[in-house]
Every structure is written in C-alpha cells, then in structure tokens.
Amino acid sequence: MAVGLSAELPPLLAVNGVRWGVAEAAIKRPGRKDVALMEICEGATTAAVYTRNAFCAAPVHIARRHGAASAPRYLLINSGNANAGTGEPGMLAAEQSCRAVAAVTGCDAGAVLPFSTGVIGVVLPVAKIEAALPQAVAALDVEGWHAAAHAIMTTDTVPKGISRQVMVAGRAVTITGIAKGSGMIRPDMATMLAYVATDAAVPRDLLQGLLSASADRSFNAVTVDGDTSTNDACVLVATGKSGVRFDSVDAEGYAGFAQAVLEVCQYLAQAMIRDGEGATKFITIDVRGGVSEDECRQVAYTVAHSPLVKTALFASDPNWGRILAAVGRAGVVSMDVSKIDIYLGDVQIVHAGGCDSAYTEAAGQAVMNQAEITIRIELGRGDAVAQVWTCDFSYDYVKINAEYRT
C-alpha cells in the first residue's frame, strides 16, 4: 500500500475547456482501461517538459515535434507499452496513432501529442488503439479526470490526482492534475507522465517558464531508484475559460496562481514516491548550508540513491554511518567534514563530523520506526538549500521489477 496515500482519489475539479475519455485496447492484457484521450479547446496554450534520456521513446520525439509546430488539440496516452527502443517502426507507429486520432476527431494529425508508458522494446500495437479510439471519443467528458488517472497507470498501486483553486479579482481559477509513476523514477524527468490543466489564460512562453520552474521543484526533485525513464513527460494546459488572464509574472494574482500550480506538481511528484514500487517509507532528504542549490541536490541524491541507506530505511535500522558515508562520497569539492551535522527527524546523529555526544540508539530507532522520515544534512558551507523526496528499497521492489514482463 502506498505510504500515506488513499486508494481513492480526492475530488478532482473539472477544468472548463478540457475533456477526458478512456477506452480498453488490451495493449498488454485485457480487462482494464489503458487508453486515455485528452481533448483541449481551441485557443488554449500548452507547455511541456520531457525526458532527457538519450534513448527517449518514439512518442516523445513526435510529441516534441508536434507541440513545437502547432497548438495541440488532443493528447493520446496509452499504458502497457512504452514504444521505446523500437527504432523507425516505433516512430511510424507513434505517427500512425496520431493519424488515428485525427481520423475520428477531424483534427489535424499534427495537433495530436502521443504519450506511451509500459514495457520498453516492443512496437506499439496501433491497430488495438485504432479500434479503441471511437470508445474514448464517445466517453469524452469534463468530469473524466478520475477515469483518466486510472487508465494511465502501470505498476502504480493507486491513482494520483489533485485539484486547487485560487481567487483572482473575484473569479475562481481552477488547476487540476493527474500523474502516473511508481518505478524507474529519477527525473530528468522521471517512468512518469503528468497532465495538469488550468482554466486561466496564460501566454505560451509564460506558461512554459511556469512549468519548467515548477517541474524543477517537484518532478525533478524525486527519485525511487535513480533510473531515468525513456518516456517521461509533463504537460500543462491553459484553456483561458475562466476569464482570468496573466500576461506577466507581475500580473495581479499571478504569484498565488503560480504557487497553486507548484503545489499541484509537488503533490503529484510526492505521490509517485509514496507509491514507489514496494515502498514502505516516504523519505525527505533536506540538505542545507551548501554553496549552491546544485551542490545541495548533489548531496541529497547521493544519499537518496544509496542502496545501503535505502535498505537500512526499509529495515528501520538507524545505521547512520551509511548516511555519513554517502555524504562523504557525494563529490563536494573541499568538503570540511568538521562542519557537518546530520539529523534523523529531530534527533541529531552527527555533530561536527562525528557521532553526536547526546545521541542514543533508542532515539534513532524511534525515528526509523516511522513511515515518514526526514534526513536533514547541514553542510556549513553557505546559504543554499535543496530537498529531494525518495523511498526505501524493499523485497517487493526486487520482486516487482524481476517479474515486470511476466
């Protein structure tokens, strides 16, 4: 069970100008909805961020190309097949899936952005998607967020979604987002897909800047296992249907709106970690006192990726030497270990580079027994800070990934 997450989604607010429809294509196996279609109104603006993996999947290539050339009208998402590592046949399949949407909706194929998640190395079975698309189109509904959150899942144990509203000049602005992700999570982006929409009007350049900044503090600050997927993508859509428009960062209400978008992104990012494959604990790595934010993140990720730290967390073993060792090998130039303090929750385990004189194993154990733990690392080198969210490594993580294709 996901750490601190309910199997039931919270109420998701409709976003005027966006409709979702889902269908069963039996891409990997029958019996579940595995295709989702997002319809975007005319006049909307769209921003996106994608994986930096050099082996990025065919749909990523096509989505980038289409998104740069025109205003998207439809997003097509399938689970069960990543269409990655598939060469030219995979590219042709991704393009054909866009033409299939165009055929049933009447839009231009270039206005369709394709997204896929699932098994790598298998060409997308486009014929199955083509057969399912009329069902997805018929199901298009402004209330379709819940169904879409379920349809995009792979190894996720729970769907992930959240809504926020802010008031601007007496008008309500809605932000709703859904995401999938459970393993192969270490962004540049993360295996994650996320779709967020708002009924505010936001020019494309401003929207892209907002998404990029929000992603850096959310989807790009999480890790399950240190693996960057071939298929990661996050899309932010602004329909303008609320009547509220932001033309610059200085516009009335923009700061509160941007904060709400960030909160949606952070909730979705943290939900992926809480639902990490086999996860039993949700861990915040809080690094402070660095020379730069990049330096702080470097330390945080080294701790978060350490198999020895992650397995100790699973065992609830306060083996703080593993944390100390990870900090020491993080590659920080001219690190002065005599300035480093480390805390488990509120319990100081390391002071001035050595075991804190007041530390007791019982105090450390009490923190490690908790399902949610903060590891705070004080570098004593500057004023920069960074946070990364991760989870433990359990027996089930190995089992899930050993049996992924069976």
Q: Could you tell me the residue range of the domain that residue 319 belongs to? A: 282-402
118 — pLDDT class (breaks 50, 70, 90):
confident
Same domain (yes/no): 345, 245: no
Burial of 331 (C-beta count, 10 Å sphere; 0-12/13-18/19+): exposed
Same domain (yes/no): 224, 311: no
Same domain (yes/no): 34, 138: yes
Same domain (yes/no): 204, 291: no
Considering 227, 251, 274, which residue would you say is the last residue of a domain?
274
Same domain (yes/no): 241, 299: no
Same domain (yes/no): 78, 219: yes
In a domain, 9, yes or no: no
In a domain, 13, yes or no: no
Question: Are 168 and 244 spatial neighbours (Cβ–Cβ below 8 Å)?
Answer: yes
Residues for the chain: how many in total?
A: 406
Considering 258, 274, 290, which residue would you say is the last residue of a domain?
274
Considering 232, 251, 274, which residue would you say is the last residue of a domain?
274
Residue recorded with tokens 């397995």:
311
pLDDT tens per residue, range 261-301: 999 999 999 998 998 778 899 999 999 999 999 999 999 99
Distance CA 271, CA 35 (A): 22
CATH code of 343's domain: 3.10.20.340
Catalytic residues: 191
In a domain, 2, yes or no: no
In a domain, 176, yes or no: yes
Same domain (yes/no): 90, 236: yes
Same domain (yes/no): 263, 293: no
Q: Is the pLDDT of residue 183 over 60?
A: no
Same domain (yes/no): 237, 376: no
Q: Residue 36 corresponds to which amino acid?
A: A
Same domain (yes/no): 225, 334: no
CATH code of 186's domain: 3.60.70.12
The four Cα atoms 64, 69, 72, 73 give a dihedral, to 10 degrees, of -140
Same domain (yes/no): 221, 287: no
Instruction: Report the domain count for the chain.
Output: 2
Residues 6 or more apart whose CB falls under 8 angstroms from that of 9 comprise 146, 149, 159, 160, 161
In a domain, 390, yes or no: yes
pLDDT tens per residue, range 120-171: 888 999 999 999 999 999 999 999 999 999 999 988 889 999 999 999 999 9
Residue 249 CB coordination number (10 Å): 11
pLDDT tens per residue, range 9-19: 999 999 999 99
Same domain (yes/no): 180, 248: yes
